Amino acid sequence: MKLQAEIGDDKFEIDITRENDKVFALVNERKYELDASEPEPNVFLLKHNGKIYEVFVSPQSDTTGHMNVSVGTNEFEVKLFDPKRLRGSGSEHVHGDGKAEIKTAMPGKVVRILKSVGDTVKKGDGVIVVEAMKMQNEMKSPKDGHIAEIKVVKGDTVSAGDVLVVIE
């Protein structure tokens, strides 16, 4: 995934790839290898060179790409761009009235399925729990809707990027 970021007057070209349980980031030609997890919405744990960083990303309330990011006691205002979406439809909501997919961020194991096909969900409702890196992560609905499809069962091993649940 290629992104562009601005922090103050500084601009960054970012390329993120995943292999197994690792996340590789190339930031302005500088390479990083990370273990990453999202133990709760908007909170990320990044492990790099034996150190663990807790990162809080403020929820976006608009479509401008502006967000506040806190790493420890440091806070940054970040503007994030996806070059592929600059030509997008102009839709104000990422999921609109269509379907949304809940995908895994990293490899893990499905430990609980909290909803069933046909259930109505609100944005932020817990839908499924995946264990990754010995942490259980409750994955939440990104929009209001109903569960159209559950593509896994309890006990399944999943890879990064796998679609677990479809919400319409």
Alpha-carbon 83 to chain mean position: 18
3-state secondary structure of 95: coil
Q: Is residue 62 part of a domain?
A: yes
Are 72 and 106 within one domain?
no
Instruction: Domain of residue 40: give its range.
Output: 2-87
pTM for the whole thing?
Answer: 0.47
**Residue 21: inside a domain:** yes
| Domain boundary residue, one of 54, 87, 120 | 87
Whether residues 6 and 79 fall in one domain? yes
Say if residues 154 and 111 touch (Cβ distance below 8 Å): yes
The structural domain count of the chain equals 2
Predicted confidence pLDDT, tens digits, the chain (168 residues)? 788 888 888 888 888 888 766 888 888 889 989 888 777 778 888 888 889 888 888 866 455 667 888 888 888 888 877 666 544 433 334 444 578 888 887 788 999 999 999 999 998 899 999 888 778 888 888 889 999 999 999 999 988 778 899 999
Chain-centre distance of CA 59, in angstroms?
12
Instruction: Go through 145-160 and write b for each residue having 16 or more CB atoms within 10 A of its CB, e for each that does not.
Output: bebeebebeeeeebeb
Exposure string over 5-30, b if 16+ CB within 10 A, otherwise e: beeeeeeeebeeebeeeebebeeeee
Inside any domain, residue 94? no
Structure tokens at 91: 């839709």
Pull the structure tokens for residue 139: 């994955």
